[in-house]
Chain A
Amino acid sequence: MISLAGRDIMHSWGKFVFTGMGLGLLIGITLSMAGIYRGMVDDAKVLLDNSGADLWVVQKDTLGPYAESSSLYDDIWRGIRGMPGVERAANITYLTMQVGKQDGDVRAMVTGVTPGEPGTPGWPPYLVAGRQITRSHYEAVADIASGFKLGDRIQIRRNHYTIVGLTRRMVSSNGDPMVFIPLKDAQEAQFLKDNDAIREQRRRTAENPAFNRPGVPGLLDAVIASQSTNPYVNAVLVRVEPGHAPEEVAESIRRWKRLTVYTRSQMEEILVGKLIATSARQIFMFLVILSIVSSAIVAFIIYTLTLGKIREIAVLKLIGTKNRTIVGLIMQQSIALGLIGFVVGKISATLLMAPIFPKYVLLQPLDSVMGFIAVVMICVLSSIIAIRAALRVDPAEAIGG
Chain B
Amino acid sequence: MKKLPFQKRTLALIAVLFPLLVLFVYVALRSGPLAPVSVVLATVENKSISPKLFGIGTIEARYTYKIGPTFAGRVKRLDVHVGERVKAGQVLGEMDPVDLDERIRAQDATLKRANAQLNEAQARKDYAQTQALRYEQLLKARSTSEEVVATKQQDLLVAKAGLTAAREELSRVRAEREALEAQRSNLSLVAPVDGLVVSRDADPGTTVVAGQAVVELIDPSTLWVNVRFDQIRARGLAAGLSAQITLRSQAGELQAGRVLRVEPLADAVTEETLAKVVFDQIPDPLPPIGELAEITITLPTLAATPVVPNAAIHHKDSRLGVWQVTNGDLRFTAVSLGIADLEGRVQIREGLKVGDQVVAYSENALNEHSRIHVVDHIPGVTQ
Select which of A118, A138, A214, A368 is within 8 A of B314 by beta carbon: A118
Known contacts A10-B6, A344-B20; decide if A131 and B344 are in contact (CB<8 Å): yes
Contacts of B381 in A (CB 8 A): 128-129, 144, 166
CB of B317 within 8 A of chain A? yes
How many of chain B's residues have a CB under 8 angstroms from any CB in A?
Answer: 61
Mark interface residues in A346-373 (1 if CB within 8 Å of B CB, else 0): 1100110010000000111100100000
Interface centre among A127, A241, A346 (most CB of B within 10 A): A127
Mark interface residues in A110-149 (1 if CB within 8 Å of B CB, else 0): 0000011111000001111111101111100000100001
Quick check: A116 and B211 within 8 Å, CB to CB?
no
Closest B residue to A214 by beta carbon equals B209
Quick check: B365 and A125 within 8 Å, CB to CB?
yes
Quick check: B27 and A350 within 8 Å, CB to CB?
yes
Select which of A131, A138, A351 is within 8 A of B343 by beta carbon: A131
Contacts of A131 in B (CB 8 A): 309-311, 343-344
Known contacts A128-B363, A138-B294, A343-B24; decide if A116 and B318 are in contact (CB<8 Å): no
Contacts of B383 in A (CB 8 A): 129, 149-150
Within 8 A of A (CB), among B207-255: 209, 211-213, 229-230, 232-233, 251
Instruction: Write the nearest CB–CB distance from A363 to chain B, whole angstroms.
Output: 6
How many A-B contacts are there with CB distance less than 8 Å?
142
CB of A13 within 8 A of chain B? yes
CB of B17 within 8 A of chain A? yes
CB of A308 within 8 A of chain B? no
- Per the bound structure, the CA–CA distance linking A82 and B337 in Å amounts to 24
Quick check: B340 and A134 within 8 Å, CB to CB?
yes
Contacts of B54 in A (CB 8 A): 134-137
Contacts of B362 in A (CB 8 A): 126, 128
Within 8 A of A (CB), among B303-352: 309-311, 313-315, 317-318, 320, 337, 340-344, 346
Interface size class of A (residues with CB under 8 A): 35 or more
Quick check: A144 and B380 within 8 Å, CB to CB?
yes
Question: DSSP class of A's interface residues: helix, strand, loop or mixed?
Answer: loop
CB of A328 within 8 A of chain B? no
- Per the bound structure, the CA–CA distance linking A131 and B344 in Å amounts to 6
CB of A79 within 8 A of chain B? no
CB of B23 within 8 A of chain A? yes
Select which of B23, B56, B320, B364 is within 8 A of A137 by beta carbon: B56
Contacts of B230 in A (CB 8 A): 115, 136, 184
CB of B104 within 8 A of chain A? no
Quick check: A130 and B20 within 8 Å, CB to CB?
no
- Per the bound structure, the CA–CA distance linking A363 and B29 in Å amounts to 12
CB of B361 within 8 A of chain A? yes
- Per the bound structure, the CA–CA distance linking A14 and B9 in Å amounts to 9
CB of B182 within 8 A of chain A? no
Question: DSSP class of B's interface residues: helix, strand, loop or mixed?
Answer: mixed
CB of B88 within 8 A of chain A? no
Within 8 A of A (CB), among B87-131: none
Select which of A129, A168, A344 is within 8 A of B364 by beta carbon: A168
Mark interface residues in B56-76 (1 if CB within 8 Å of A CB, else 0): 100000000000000000000
CB of B195 within 8 A of chain A? no
Select which of A119, A129, A364 is within 8 A of B33 by beta carbon: A364
Instruction: Write the nearest CB–CB distance from B33 to chain A, whole angstroms.
Output: 7
Instruction: Write the nearest CB–CB distance from A212 to chain B, whole angstroms.
Output: 13
- Per the bound structure, the CA–CA distance linking A119 and B213 in Å amounts to 52
CB of B374 within 8 A of chain A? no
Instruction: Write the nearest CB–CB distance from B380 to chain A, whole angstroms.
Output: 7
- Per the bound structure, the CA–CA distance linking A344 and B24 in Å amounts to 8
CB of A242 within 8 A of chain B? yes
Select which of B10, B21, B314 is within 8 A of A126 by beta carbon: B314
- Per the bound structure, the CA–CA distance linking A131 and B54 in Å amounts to 16
Contacts of B17 in A (CB 8 A): 17, 340
Instruction: Write the nearest CB–CB distance from B54 to chain A, whole angstroms.
Output: 4
Closest B residue to A218 by beta carbon equals B212
Contacts of B190 in A (CB 8 A): none
Known contacts A10-B13, A128-B378; decide if A118 and B310 are in contact (CB<8 Å): yes
- Per the bound structure, the CA–CA distance linking A4 and B32 in Å amounts to 38
Quick check: A217 and B209 within 8 Å, CB to CB?
yes
Interface centre among A134, A168, A344, A347 (most CB of B within 10 A): A134
Quick check: B315 and A125 within 8 Å, CB to CB?
yes
Instruction: Write the nearest CB–CB distance from B269 to chain A, whole angstroms.
Output: 7
CB of A165 within 8 A of chain B? yes
Closest B residue to A160 by beta carbon equals B251
Instruction: Write the nearest CB–CB distance from B292 to chain A, whole angstroms.
Output: 9
Closest A residue to B317 by beta carbon equals A242
Known contacts A10-B13, A17-B13, A118-B310; decide if A126 and B294 are in contact (CB<8 Å): no
Mark interface residues in B349-383 (1 if CB within 8 Å of A CB, else 0): 00000000000111111100000000001101111
Mark interface residues in B251-268 (1 if CB within 8 Å of A CB, else 0): 100000000000000000
- Per the bound structure, the CA–CA distance linking A363 and B24 in Å amounts to 14
Quick check: B232 and A115 within 8 Å, CB to CB?
yes
Instruction: Write the nearest CB–CB distance from B315 to chain A, whole angstroms.
Output: 3
Quick check: A10 and B10 within 8 Å, CB to CB?
yes
Known contacts A10-B9, A346-B28, A364-B32; decide if A129 and B378 are in contact (CB<8 Å): yes
Contacts of B4 in A (CB 8 A): none
Instruction: Write the nearest CB–CB distance from B35 to chain A, whole angstroms.
Output: 10
Quick check: A118 and B16 within 8 Å, CB to CB?
no
- Per the bound structure, the CA–CA distance linking A49 and B66 in Å amounts to 56
8 new A-B contacts, CB < 8 A, other than A347-B23, A365-B32, are A49-B365, A125-B315, A126-B364, A129-B383, A135-B54, A168-B378, A184-B230, A362-B32
Can you spell out 15 A-B residue pairs with CB atoms less than 8 angstroms apart? A10-B10, A17-B13, A118-B313, A127-B361, A128-B381, A132-B311, A134-B340, A135-B342, A165-B311, A242-B318, A346-B27, A347-B27, A351-B27, A363-B31, A364-B33
Closest 4 CB pairs of A and B: A131-B344, A119-B315, A118-B313, A136-B230
